[in-house]
Amino acid sequence: MDLEFYWYEISPFVYTVAGGFFLGRADAALPIMSALLLLTAGGTILFLRRTHALRMRELDAPSRAPVRPTPAKG
């Protein structure tokens, strides 16, 4: 069983949900800061993964793009 793969996939969601849960229950500055750090970590991971996936898709796109005919001159 590949637990590292599963943790890699679900960790940003766990961080975000935990941060939201603790932010809703926080009543002092330290728990609020901890919750905000968890939310920021989850959001950052998701943002970086999406950015990387879009960049990889963009690099792969020219090879899959249909060839357009050039207009006739003259």
User: For residue 62, what pLDDT is reported?
Assistant: 63
pLDDT in tens, 45-55: 999 999 999 99
Neighbours of 74 (CB within 10 A): 2
User: For residue 63, what pLDDT is reported?
Assistant: 62
Q: How far apart are the first and last CA of the chain?
A: 65
The dihedral through the CA atoms of 12, 16, 18, 19 has a sign that is positive
Which tokens sit at 36? 């905000």
- Average pLDDT, stretch 19-37? 96
The identity of residue 39, as a single letter, is L
pLDDT band, residue 73 (cuts 50/70/90): confident
Q: Is the pLDDT higher at 74 or at 42?
A: 42
Which residue ranges make up each domain of the chain? Answer: 29-58
